[in-house]
Amino acid sequence: MEGKNYINGSFINSASDEKFESRNPANCDEVLGTFPLSSGQDVNNAVSAAQAAYDGWSRLSRIKRGEYLDEFTQLLKKDHEEISRLVTKECGKGIVEGRADVTEGIHMCQYVFGTVRMPHGDVVDSEIPEKDSFMRRKPKGVVAAITPWNFPFAIPLWLVCPSVVEGNTVVLKPSRETAGTGQKIAEYAHKAGFPPGVINVVHGGCGDLLVKHPDTHVVLFVGSNDVGSGIKQVVAGFHDKMCACEMGGKNALIVLDDANLDIAVNAAIISAFKTSGQRCTSASRLIVHEKVLAEFEKKFVEITKRIKIGDPLDECVFMGPVINQAATEKIARYNELAKKEGAKVLLDGGRLTGNEYKKGYFMSPFVYRMQNNPKIRVLREEVFGPHLAIIPVKNIDEAIEVHNGTDYGLACAVITEDFRKARRIRDDCAYGLGYVNLPTIGAEVHLPFGGVKKSGTGLPSASTLIDVVTHRTAWTVNHAKEIKMAQGLIVKL
Ligand code: UN1
Write out the chain's pLDDT in tens, 493 residues: 999 999 999 999 998 889 999 999 999 779 999 999 999 999 999 999 999 999 999 999 999 999 999 999 999 999 999 999 999 999 999 999 999 999 999 999 999 999 999 999 999 999 999 999 999 999 999 999 999 999 999 999 999 999 999 999 999 999 999 999 999 999 999 999 999 999 999 999 999 999 999 999 999 999 999 999 999 999 999 999 999 999 999 999 999 999 999 999 999 999 999 999 999 999 999 999 999 999 999 999 999 999 999 999 999 999 999 999 999 999 999 999 999 999 999 999 999 999 989 989 999 999 999 999 999 999 999 999 999 999 999 999 999 999 999 999 999 999 999 999 999 999 999 999 999 999 999 999 999 999 999 999 988 888 899 999 999 999 999 999 999 999 989 877 7
- Burial of 22 from C-beta contacts in 10 A (0-12 / 13-18 / 19+): buried
Top mutation candidate among 222, 271, 279 for ligand 1, by most atoms within 8 Å of CB: 279
Q: Judge whether 399 and 287 are in contact, CB under 8 Å.
A: yes
Distance 102 CA to ligand 1 centre (A): 12
Question: Tell me, what's the pLDDT at 101?
Answer: 98
- C-alpha distance from residue 437 to each of 24, 153, 240, 261, 279 (Å): 35, 28, 43, 10, 19
What is the CA(320)–ligand 1 centre distance, in A? 17
Question: What residues line ligand 1, using a CB cutoff of 6 Å?
Answer: 104, 150-151, 222, 279-281, 441-443
pTM of the model: 0.97
**Which is the catalytic residue, given 166, 246, 297, 382?**
246
Nearest CA to ligand 1 atom 2: 279
Question: Active site residue: 109, 245, 280, 412, which one?
Answer: 280
**pLDDT score recorded for residue 142:** 98
- Residue 358 phi/psi, 5-degree rounding, is -55, -35
5-247+456-475 CATH fold? Aldehyde Dehydrogenase; Chain A, domain 1 (3.40.605)
Which regions of the chain carry the CATH code 3.40.309.10?
251-436
Q: How far apart are CA 148 and CA 493, in angstroms?
A: 60
User: From ligand 1's centre to the CA of 128, what distance in Å?
Assistant: 47
pLDDT at 28: 79
Hey, which of 441, 444, 447, 463 would you mutate to test ligand 1's pocket, going by the most ligand atoms within 8 Å of its Cβ? Answer: 441
Q: What is the CATH number of domain 251-436?
A: 3.40.309.10
pLDDT of residue 217: 98
**Closest ligand 1 atom, residue 444 Cα:** 10
Residue 356 appears among annotated catalytic residues: no
Domain with CATH 3.40.605.10 in the chain: 5-247+456-475
pLDDT for the residue numbered 493: 76
CB-CB contact of 72 with 41 (8 Å): no
Residue 348 pLDDT:
98
Question: Phi/psi of residue 356, each to 5°?
Answer: -70, -10
For helices 154-165 and 179-192, the axis angle rounded to 10 degrees is: 30
The 3-class secondary structure across the chain, one letter per residue, is: CECCEEECCEEECCCCCCEEEEEECCEEEEEEEEEECCCHHHHHHHHHHHHHHHHHHHHCCHHHHHHHHHHHHHHHHHCHHHHHHHHHHHHCCCHHHHHHHHHHHHHHHHHHHHHCCCCCCEEECCCCCCEEEEEEEEECCEEEEECCCCCCCHHHHHHHHHHHHCCCEEEEECCHHHHHHHHHHHHHHHHHCCCCCCEEECCCCCHHHHHHCCCCCEEEEECCHHHHHHHHHHHHCCCCCEEEEECCCCEEEEECCCCCHHHHHHHHHHHHHHHHHCCCCCEEEEEEEHHHHHHHHHHHHHHHHCCCECCCCCCCCCECCCCCHHHHHHHHHHHHHHHHCCCEEEECCCECCCHHHCCCCCECCEEEECCCCCCCHHHCCCCCCCEEEEEEECCHHHHHHHHCCCCEECEEEEECCCHHHHHHHHHHCCCCEEEECCCCCCCCCCCEECCEECCECCCCEEHHHHHHHEEEEEEEEECCCCCCCCCCCCCCC
Q: What is the pLDDT of residue 160?
A: 98
Instruction: Give the amino acid at 470.
Output: T
Is 246 one of the catalytic residues?
yes
User: Which atom of ligand 1 is found nearest the CA of 443?
Assistant: 4
Q: What separation in Å is there between the alpha carbon of 281 and the centre of ligand 1? A: 6
pLDDT at 256: 98
